[in-house]
């Protein structure tokens, strides 16, 4: 079973992963976007943002094929922090259209949990986290305008997609966790039938 957590930066995915790890100890948690050595080399070489974006996509597909698919074939419960639709959101900001076909290359999630958060609250959380981490700069995509566009894109992608549970990420982390765990348990019940 593949469960995907999705949403803009600051929506609380990391916090919810910690709650899910406690509630579902047998699940395997993966980060398909974890930076690999190849991306680090591209960054070190000063490659263009388009080349780096392509590198992320190749790394994502490679990670799915080498790590996630074997887990699914063994019948593991896999919970992924982001997945191919997140790549679509970022790509749509740059008008990279070919990603519409990429999702046919990867396993379809049994459940996607979309943590919906408005751009203003997301930005406030990002700024607060940056201060705690003593970062002086935000990532280039962490502006209120880009975050608002990302929310619009996520809303568009997940509007009619099957197996998506939309959770209001502006609620308390405990309430979001309660709804998230409930959604995962419900997905288990449907999968077992």
Percent of the chain past pLDDT 70, that is, above it, reads 90
Cα(184)–Cα(169) distance, integer angstroms = 16
Which residue would you say has higher pLDDT here, 162 or 185?
A: 185
Domain boundaries, the chain: 2-192
Which residue would you say has higher pLDDT here, 79 or 40?
A: 79
Cα(184)–Cα(24) distance, integer angstroms = 9
User: Which fold, 2-192?
Assistant: Rossmann fold (3.40.50)
Report which of 73, 77, 68, 72 is spatially closest to residue 33, judged by C-alpha positions.
68
Q: Is the pLDDT of residue 182 over 80?
A: yes
Cα(85)–Cα(112) distance, integer angstroms = 10
Largest CA distance in the chain: 51
The string of pLDDT tens digits covering residues 100-133 is: 667 778 889 999 999 999 999 999 999 998 899 8
User: Which tokens go with 108?
Assistant: 């379809």
């Amino acid at each position: 079973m593949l469960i995907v957590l999705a949403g803009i930066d600051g929506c609380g995915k990391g916090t919810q992963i910690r709650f899910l790890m406690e509630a579902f100890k047998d699940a395997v948690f993966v980060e398909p976007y974890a930076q690999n050595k190849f991306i680090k080399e591209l960054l070190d070489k000063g490659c263009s943002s388009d080349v780096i974006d392509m590198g992320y996509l190749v790394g994502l597909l490679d990670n799915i094929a080498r790590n996630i698919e074997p887990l699914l074939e063994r019948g593991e419960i896999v919970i992924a922090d982001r997945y191919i639709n997140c790549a679509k959101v970022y790509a749509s900001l740059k008008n990279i259209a070919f990603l519409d076909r990429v999702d046919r290359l990867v396993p379809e999630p049994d459940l996607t949990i979309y943590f919906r958060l408005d751009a203003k609250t997301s930005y406030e959380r990002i700024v607060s986290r940056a201060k705690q981490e003593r970062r002086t700069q935000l990532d280039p995509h962490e502006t209120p305008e880009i975050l608002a566009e990302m929310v619009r894109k996520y809303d568009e992608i997940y509007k009619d997609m099957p197996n998506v549970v939309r959770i209001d990420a502006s609620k308390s982390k405990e309430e979001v966790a309660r709804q998230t765990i409930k959604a995962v348990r419900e997905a288990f019940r449907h999968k077992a039938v």
